[in-house]
Structure 1
Amino acid sequence: MLPWKRVLRPLAALLLTASVAVVPAATTAQAAEATATSSSGWNDYSCKPSAAHPRPVVLVHGTFANSVDNWLGLAPYLKNRGYCVFSLDYGQLPGVPFFHALGPIDKSAEQLSAYVDKVLTATDAAEADLVGHSQGGMMPRYYVKFLGGAAKVNALVGIAPNNHGTTLAGLTNLLPYFPGAEDLLSTATPALAQQVAGSDFITRLNAGGDTVPGVRYTVIATRYDEVVTPYRSQFLNGPDVKNVLIQDLCAVDISEHAFLGLTDRIAFHEVANALDPARATPTTCASVIG
């Protein structure tokens, strides 16, 4: 094995967790069971939004995740609070089951666009709210900014989103020192290369400002994020932006990148506040029992 490949392999493995909800690999039987659970709790296309919650919520998973595993915590949480909740798979690569969001991010945004249209048609709603984890909190900004999503999205809530890319604690700075490494990463898993801080994709996404008028943005971050680094790069600048550091709400919350989106009920409570700011209640350490 070439020496640079010995370094690239672990680096690529770490990059696979950028914007990732890390979950055990599912067997076919487990996936079928999870899908059944999903269909009985969310992705119910007969659901009609209520007056209290007039917009459907579309959940957008992170890299190397999928529409079920990423949302086994948050989807029921929102569904039990009266929301019509939906989730999609995107960014699939041929021959790679279960682990998605690896394809080109601009193409993934096109998939999101089509899915939002499908949800709006099914629910007879004019707008949707989007909640995404990691890449799922960043990719919708491409849809909103370049694909007409601003007219169809009321709010975008990003949980540990890599809005300005990631340095992966400095490891991405090693890529130029290994000839061919960047090209290999871009060819095999385009979304991983696009999420590196300073990439052409990230530069284009943020050119001219982080936000688009008419959309409310919320970012929920943790100081213990080991995947999207530095963690403050997740925050957005612009009008109608609320940046939340989870430790400012509960200092003893030590959730890192993956668990912030998977199980953190303090983050879930802040998501609910972002979706319905008129009925927001203070998020504290006690929110874990709410």
Structure 2
Amino acid sequence: MRLATRLTIAILSAASASLGAIGPAAADEPDPSYSYFGGLAAELTTPGQHPPGANDWSCKPTAAHPNPVVLLHGLSNDTVTWNSLSPVLTNAGYCVFTTTYGTGALGPVLGAITPIAESARQISDFIDRVRAATGSEKVDLVGHSMGGAVPFYLLNHLGGIPKIDHYVALAAPLHGSTVSGIASLQPLLESTALGAQVVQQCGPCELSPGSAVSIDLNANPAIAPDIRFTTVVSRYDEIATPWTTGLLEGPNVDNVVLQDLCPTDYTEHYELPADPVAVRVVLNALDPGRAQPVSCTVVLPFAGPVR
């Protein structure tokens, strides 16, 4: 009841609030929507286009931001997921790169569906392409959901440790996910021949709690002590569940629970990478020397901040 009450209050607040900006954008900054719906709209109006600011292959990192940033989506695509964060990072002076990896029958509309090992190989190849184009030894990773978990396969099995500086995981099922109980139906699906075949080719299905692949993923920051890990989670996550699956332990880890920073942030799994509170956390994680205070506002599920 407490969650329902808080969400009701937030929605009523949104209905009665006057319109206002969360924070003024710089004059040359593409205006981010800070909304999951904004990403969906971008996909519908410009299908196949990368998010604003991403994939300028002539971009050269500066001394202020020497690492290019690679953004990795979850069970979605790069346009939907990074419509807000990509222009913010670009305006802040980063070279930003995205790719829709792990696609299947639906093509670039839906990625991260192939087995984790295959997705990890595609990500590894993309990182090498970014490093070659920019001349950078290392990249910073920002991954949402599956995109925050799959790179651990890269670190453990594909020699990725020397290529990564900062690793930011947003709502990532690092230790498997129950998907709000839906994962308990997976054995029933696997009991049929067709279902078993589907599960064998399904990357997200490999992250059921306690699965062999989840264990093999080995989301242990101790394997890479020189990488700085930041996790960002929401207590209202409905996909990476329990929400604590997105946390790590170790001296090279910063765990951020959004509601500890902003009690009126009701973001769930899909809104999280567009949430302005989370966006500021990402900026601070990538450049701690220029960290700024995190402003709190009312953030609604899917819709984003109350303006």
TM range (shorter): 0.7 to 0.9
SS at match of 1:173: helix
Q: Equivalent residue for 2:123?
A: 112
What is the match of residue 234 of structure 1? 246
| Structure 1 residues 10-57: Cα deviation after superposition (integer angstroms, max 9, x where no partner) | xxxxxxxxxxx786598786315x34x64xx22001111111111000
Letter in structure 1 aligned against 2:236: Y
Over aligned residues, Cα RMSD in angstroms? 2.5
Q: How many residues are matched?
A: 262
1:264 and 2:275 correspond: yes
Give the TM-score, by structure 1 length: 0.83
| Residue equivalent to 1:30 | 46
Please tell me whether residue 134 in structure 1 is matched to residue 161 in structure 2: no
Is contact 2:138–2:162 with CA below 8 Å preserved after alignment?
A: yes
In the alignment, which residue of structure 1 is the partner of 2:31?
none
Residue 243 in 1 paired to residue 255 in 2? yes
Greater shift after overlay, 193-202 or 177-186? 177-186
Specify every segment of 5 or more residues in structure 2 that has no aligned partner in the other structure, as ranges. Answer: 1-35, 299-304
Range 105-114 or range 171-180, more displaced: 171-180
- Partner residue, 1:3: none
Cα distance, 1:210–1:224 mapped onto 2, change above 3 Å: farther
Q: CA deviation at 1:277?
A: 1.2
SS of 1:106's equivalent in the other structure is helix
2:232 is the counterpart of 1:220 = yes
Q: CA separation in 1, counterparts of 2:220 and 2:58?
A: 40
In structure 2, which of residues 73, 76, 87 is the aligned counterpart of residue 76 of structure 1? Answer: 87
Identity %: 40
* TM-score between the two structures when normalised by the length of structure 2: 0.78
Say if 2:149 and 2:173, in contact at 8 Å, map to a contact too. Answer: yes
Give the match's secondary structure for 2:270: helix
Contact kept, 8 Å, 2:124 with 2:154, in 1: the verdict is yes
Secondary structure of the corresponding residue to residue 198 of structure 1? coil
Cα contact 1:210–1:236 (8 A) shared by 2: no
What SS is found at the alignment partner of 1:48?
coil
Structure 2 equivalent of residue 4 of structure 1:
none
- How far off is 1:206 after superposition? 2.1
CA drift at 1:144: 1.6
Does residue 88 of the first structure (1) align with residue 99 of the second (2)?
A: yes
Paired residue type of 1:220? V
CA distance in 2, matches of 1:211, 1:285: 34
